[in-house]
């Protein structure tokens, strides 16, 4: 199993899916416009890890749950994204089906 941080890849994919630049994302989550592009680039390259509050703001802006950033596989990331969009009742029904 690879021992690689999935955050950079997931962050870049979610940002590109939204169609915004690194700088735009940084500005949207409250970073200084002069530093936004560089900071986001460091996150996407894996040079630095954002703190949890920054990750939570990124997740909200990108429309994904924070857990999405930590899924090793693309299928798991997509499942987390879909599960988060479901109502609690829908998740409970799915759990019941999976248990049986």
Say what the pTM is. Answer: 0.83
Name the band, by pLDDT with cuts 50, 70 and 90, for residue 4: confident
**What is the predicted pLDDT for the residue at 3?**
60
Residue 95 · residue 87 · CB < 8 Å: no
Res. 1: pLDDT tops 70: no
Cα separation values, 59 from 32, 39, 89, 93, Å: 18, 16, 23, 26
**What is the predicted pLDDT for the residue at 2?**
52
Average pLDDT over residues 42-64: 96
């Amino acid at each position: 199993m690879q021992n690689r941080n999935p955050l950079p890849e997931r962050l870049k994919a979610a940002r590109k899916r939204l169609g915004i630049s690194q700088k735009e994302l940084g500005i949207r989550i409250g970073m200084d416009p002069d530093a936004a592009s560089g900071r986001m680039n460091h996150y996407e390259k894996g040079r630095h890890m954002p703190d949890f509050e920054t990750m939570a703001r990124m997740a909200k802006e990108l429309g994904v749950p924070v857990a999405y950033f930590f899924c090793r596989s693309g299928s798991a990331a997509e499942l987390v994204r879909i599960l988060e969009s479901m109502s609690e009742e829908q998740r409970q029904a799915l759990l019941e089906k999976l248990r049986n």
